[in-house]
Structure 1
Amino acid sequence: MHAIAIYDLDKTITHAPTWTAFLIASARAQKPWRLALLPLAGVATLGYALKLVDRARLKQITQRLLLGNGWQDARVARAVADFADGVIADGIYTGARAAIAADRAAGRRIVLATASYAFYAGAIAERLGFDDVIGTCVVRDNGKVRARIEGENCYGAAKLRMIEAWLAGEGIARDDATVRFYTDHVSDAPTLEWADEAFAVNAHGPLRLLAKLKGWTILDFER
């Protein structure tokens, strides 16, 4: 039997969402003139709030605005390392570190499943000792990172599909695994329902209410 612990990233493990912070930090360090385009990114975010663009499209627009559509791999690697080091230094919940350590000590395989881009979330996961990463993938070609998502945005029902695909790729049958899943957001309800043990962590109002109705464990990694 495979014992697996799957964690969401933003606001489950980290104090704050990571995508916008990564964009701004990377632009400031490598392409500071692009920070002048932040108001346009704000317009795109408003478009998302008004349901004019979806989350995947929003990611692609903001990446193109702040990092361009042809970010060289060497620059990406530097930006990712710098950002991950900063998040690890002061952006991780103490409770998350403790839960990860406890799951590891119990012999569970530790997996990150996040809507964040895997190319930088993976660096954070590596520093925390994760075994595997499931995340949104980005198109790479000719030694450059493009402002286009490859495959699905790892969010909501798509996250569960990607977790199931990962299990299949690892040759693990669902009946041969016990899975616990930690998240802060109600968008992950499909995966919480699917997991053997569901944990609502630092839950916002809608998830806290759903967790109480479903009998899921509620945790606070801030304490």
Structure 2
Amino acid sequence: MRHRDLAIYDMDKTITRVATWTPFLRHALRERGRGALWLLLIAGVAVTGYVLRLYGRDRLKEMTHRLVLGRTVPGERLTDTARAFARATVATGLLDGARARIEADRADGRMLVLATASYRFYAQEIAELLGFDAVIATNCAQEHGGNVLARIDGENCYGAAKLRAIEAWTAEQGIARGDVAVRFYSDHVSDAPVFDWADEPFPVNAHAPLKALARKRGWPVLDWRD
């Protein structure tokens, strides 16, 4: 069966002006009151450990999650926080060029897929406001009662893990790779596995390593920054 062709978008700094995790943490802390902002300083120490390669991105994400949101957070409360953050992000934090390309891919009849290393609990809310058809993201573990834990469930959806997640999603949807044409947009060289997998790779707002790879591979480079 022929499926709709795919337009797969990374999120942070591809369609958003900035990476979203730290702004989300700030948003969550503002909800708790200004006195909680000191936790961001502690989170900064955790970032230093990552820079020194004492642990990886997945561990850093879990640490900052636990520091700011707590070891567990009620699912409904987290959803409310994520929804408010998503509304603010879509209102002021998106690139106009990204909005235009999303609408062009929608008009072209493509299925819109957001594939991001960001946590699903807020990426899903952003995607729904933008009318995406599906979301592939980093998942959090949950307790039976619905509380969300500061622990990644599965893999951090980054680098080669993002491609594995996309392939798992297409298999779940019954989409055979040879039956669809795939466009992929991202700002970061860590997404090289997905760029190579796609039919139409589009580096967007690319940093220097991705620009160098694009020149080597002959990929067109887009810039949506305004």
Identity %: 57
Corresponding position: 1:137 with 2:139:
yes
As a proportion of its length, which structure holds more strand? 1
Match of 1:61 in 2: 63
Alignment of 1:21-36 (within 5 A): 21-30=23-32, 32-36=34-38
Q: 1:157 aligns with which of 145, 154, 160?
A: 160
Match of 1:197 in 2: 200
Corresponding position: 1:216 with 2:219:
yes
CA distance in 1, matches of 2:57, 2:141: 17
Output the TM-score relative to the length of structure 1: 0.97
Match of 1:119 in 2: 121
Match of 1:13 in 2: 15
Corresponding position: 1:174 with 2:177:
yes
RMSD: 1.1
Unaligned runs of 5+ in 1: none
CA distance in 1, matches of 2:67, 2:33: 11
| SS of structure 2 residue aligned to 1:217 | coil
Deviation, structure 1 residue 34: 3.3
Q: How many residues align?
A: 223
Output the TM-score relative to the length of structure 2: 0.96
Match of 1:92 in 2: 94
Letter in 1 for 2:116: T
Q: 1:148 aligns with which of 148, 151, 174?
A: 151
CA distance in 1, matches of 2:224, 2:213: 19
Q: Is the 8 A contact 1:34 1:65 kept in 2?
A: no
- 1:164-184 Cα deviation digits (max 9, x unpaired): 000000001111111110000
Q: Is the 8 A contact 1:180 1:196 kept in 2?
A: yes
Corresponding position: 1:207 with 2:213:
no
CA distance in 1, matches of 2:33, 2:142: 19
CA distance in 2, matches of 1:27, 1:91: 19
Match of 2:42 in 1: 40
Deviation, structure 1 residue 217: 1.4
Q: Tell me whether 151-160 or 63-72 shows the greater mean CA deviation.
A: 63-72
